[in-house]
Structure 1
Amino acid sequence: MVTPLKQPIVFELEGFYVPPGYGAFLFVLALCNYMVMLFANGVVLCIIVIDKNLHRPMFVMVCNLVVCDLLGGTTVLPRFMVHFLTGQKKIAYISAIAQAFCVHTYGFAMQTILGVMAYDRYIAVCDPLRYHAIMTSARLHSCCALAWATAVLFIVVLFAFHVNAPLCGNTIKHVYCSNRAILNLACSPTPLNNIYGLSLAWSVNTSIFLVIALSYLRILHATVKQGRDARRKAFLTCAPHLVVYVLYQIGTLVLIVIQRFPSLSQNIKRFFSILFIVIPPVINPIIYGLVSKELRTSIIKHFYKFRRPSQKIGEA
């Protein structure tokens, strides 16, 4: 009979296999990825906060997306760096639960925020004359709060199954902690968690997909009747949101599909399994910064504004 582990429990992540001599190189890659993520998201967040012309619903939602990206990237990348540099794979029970909770919250909040953004784009394109009457400040903040509250509530319920689940193992067969990876170490099966987790993933993915699909079908129908300029404006308005959603879905699809190829090495599988959480936080702010003319113009304007004082100081 297997004896349940007692607190304090310390898990060991299988992690990546790091060939001798490659740890420092992989550390630098992870560090560069993290620094780019912090810089790109930090610039977008600061510019939106500083520039009052950007204090509008679309950019407020972009801020929420930025916070979500920072949550996801910061949850896993620093620990990867420690793993690559020192080889340390151990993680305390509370830290493991916290990491898993943040990873799942990131995944669900990303989708709920994108769902709210789709609703905002639908109102902006299909009912522009009533946009400000519909998307008031109160409704905007209510929608953003609902997106976060829904994600957090669902994940709190998901992790409630950990309360009375004794664990009989301490090796997590993944590169980061997740709900399923931890409960795989339970002394007995956890069917309720499996059912709830699968139902939650299916229902959230399906409902958000339907919200976004219906919004864009209505947008497409509304813009077909309008002129070329109106269609171009609608495309530029909606393109960043659609690209971000598609990239996130590609990342999650790769995560599912890659597990169906048992011949692939574990390192390759684990690399693809983290794409959805390390690539979007780097790409998303760049997409919005490049495609959104207002945001791009504001970034350039503030860049030159901060550059001039430094030039004057250098000349003095």
Structure 2
Amino acid sequence: MDNNSLKGNVILKLEGFSLTPTITNLIFILFLIIYIFTITANAVMLGVLVFDKKLHEPMYLLLWTMPINDLIGICSIMPRILMDLLSTAKEISYNNCIAQAFFIHIYASVSLTILAAMAYDRYIAICNPLRYHTIMTKRITAVLSLVVWAFSFSLIMTLFGLVLRLPLCRNIINHIACDHTRILSLTCANITVNNIYGLVGTAVVNAIALSSVIYSYVKILITCLSNRHAESKSKAIYTCSTHLLVFAIFEISSLSSVIAYRLEKVSKNFRHIMAMTFVIIPTLANPIIYGMKTKDIRKRITEMFKIRIFP
């Protein structure tokens, strides 16, 4: 199995869930409902942002990236899990495994970098409101969005470029999905370079996100404390709460997935579910949070479906 030219034809075995038939059916139905709802919610939000010209403002243009990225995240993991729940084989080709892992990591990287960009946008809007439309033009917003995607793709392509050079000597993935760490476990070659690059890349992305969020919100806090107008303070806090909530959900979900496999005394099924949370929970929560807490988006969605929230 050390011939790299044949790696694409290698079939890998996923550990998957170990459940009774009844529980398997219930989990399948639950995950299917979550998948359909997540796809629908993100598609609706993206449709509203794209087709409503009144929302073609810098703040909302930057938000376009989030539902697109959430769709990538949920589609990279959930269809495979649903298939494996109905299958006893639980097999995946090496090429499909690489593709799945690639898009899962793209989702994670873009999630953090777009939240960093949105923190900067909130900082400009609250701390420099008179200059906001001069600084955050549509062109600048488009460039910022492009940088988010370009940075993430270059980072993850290099990560998996280093993976593809390695020979295989195993074919069992001890997980319900493929990721960088699990793919590295398939080789017997020296993976020091891969580990160093992976750790550095993860540290860089998290440092960018955390530094942007911390810096932006410290400045926002100072501005709010120095502002004597209660209405302006409450508006700023309300505007920032949405972004902070989304950021907190992603960070907590990511942390739970990291510690999932450190809990040796917990059942594998529970650890597998914990490991999925960094994709499932944010992709489900983001369109709900932005749809409910962003006035203009909420208004467009209710108009779209002709829903009367208040009779």
TM over 0.5, shorter chain: yes
Amino acid at match of 1:209: L
Higher alpha-carbon deviation: 219-228 or 139-148: 219-228
1:230 is aligned, of 229, 232, 246, to 232
- 1:252 CA displacement: 1.0
Q: What is the distance in 2 between the residues matched to 1:300 and 1:20? A: 40
Q: What is the distance in 1 between the residues matched to 2:253 and 2:51? A: 32
Q: What is the distance in 1 between the residues matched to 2:223 and 2:280? A: 36
Q: What do the CA deviations read for 1:283-302 (whole angstroms, capped 9, x no partner)? A: 10000011111111111122
- 1:105 CA displacement: 0.5
User: Contact between 2:42 and 2:287, CA under 8 Å: does it hold in 1?
Assistant: yes
In the alignment, structure 1 residue 4 sits paired with structure 2 residue 2: yes
Q: What CA RMSD, in Å, does the superposition of the two structures yield over aligned residues?
A: 1.3
Q: TM-score, normalising length from structure 1?
A: 0.93
- 1:217 CA displacement: 0.5
Q: What do the CA deviations read for 1:157-183 (whole angstroms, capped 9, x no partner)? A: 101112321000100111110111111
User: Contact between 2:61 and 2:138, CA under 8 Å: does it hold in 1?
Assistant: no
Residue of structure 1 equivalent to 2:262: 260
Q: What do the CA deviations read for 1:112-163 (whole angstroms, capped 9, x no partner)? A: 1111101111111111111111011111100000011111100011011123
Residue of structure 1 equivalent to 2:276: 274
- 1:206 CA displacement: 1.8
Amino acid at match of 2:270: I
Residue of structure 1 equivalent to 2:166: 165
Q: What do the CA deviations read for 1:242-300 (whole angstroms, capped 9, x no partner)? A: 11100000011112223332111111111101001111111100000111111111111
Q: What is the distance in 2 between the residues matched to 1:142 and 1:210? A: 20
Higher alpha-carbon deviation: 91-100 or 45-54: 45-54
Q: What SS class does the counterpart of residue 92 from structure 2 fall into?
A: strand
Residue of structure 2 equivalent to 1:105: 106
Higher alpha-carbon deviation: 76-85 or 97-106: 76-85
Higher alpha-carbon deviation: 5-14 or 287-296: 5-14
Q: What do the CA deviations read for 1:213-258 (whole angstroms, capped 9, x no partner)? A: 1000001111112211001111121111111100000011112223
Residue of structure 1 equivalent to 2:23: 22
Higher alpha-carbon deviation: 108-117 or 53-62: 53-62
User: Contact between 2:73 and 2:107, CA under 8 Å: does it hold in 1?
Assistant: yes
Q: What SS class does the counterpart of residue 161 from structure 1 fall into?
A: helix
Q: What SS class does the counterpart of residue 86 from structure 2 fall into?
A: helix
Q: What do the CA deviations read for 1:38-71 (whole angstroms, capped 9, x no partner)? A: 1111111111122211111221222210101000
Q: What SS class does the counterpart of residue 124 from structure 2 fall into?
A: helix
The total of aligned residue pairs comes to: 303
Residue of structure 2 equivalent to 1:241: 243
Structure 2: gaps spanning 5 or more residues: none
- 1:203 CA displacement: 1.9
Residue of structure 1 equivalent to 2:77: 76
Higher alpha-carbon deviation: 70-79 or 82-91: 82-91
Q: What SS class does the counterpart of residue 21 from structure 1 fall into?
A: helix
Q: What is the distance in 1 between the residues matched to 2:48 and 2:142? A: 19
Residue of structure 1 equivalent to 2:187: 186
- 1:17 CA displacement: 1.1
Higher alpha-carbon deviation: 52-61 or 106-115: 52-61
Residue of structure 1 equivalent to 2:300: 298
Q: What is the distance in 1 between the residues matched to 2:259 and 2:166? A: 30
Q: What is the distance in 2 between the residues matched to 1:122 and 1:170? A: 48
Amino acid at match of 1:4: D
Q: What is the distance in 2 between the residues matched to 1:31 and 1:98? A: 22
Q: What is the distance in 2 between the residues matched to 1:53 and 1:206? A: 34
Structure 1: gaps spanning 5 or more residues: 306-316
Q: What is the distance in 2 between the residues matched to 1:144 and 1:88? A: 41
Q: TM-score, normalising length from structure 2?
A: 0.94
Runs of 4+ displaced beyond 6 Å: none
- 1:4 CA displacement: 2.6
Q: Matches of residues 136-147 of structure 1 in structure 2 within 5 Å? A: 136-147=137-148
Q: What SS class does the counterpart of residue 279 from structure 1 fall into?
A: helix
- 1:188 CA displacement: 1.7
Residue of structure 1 equivalent to 2:221: 220
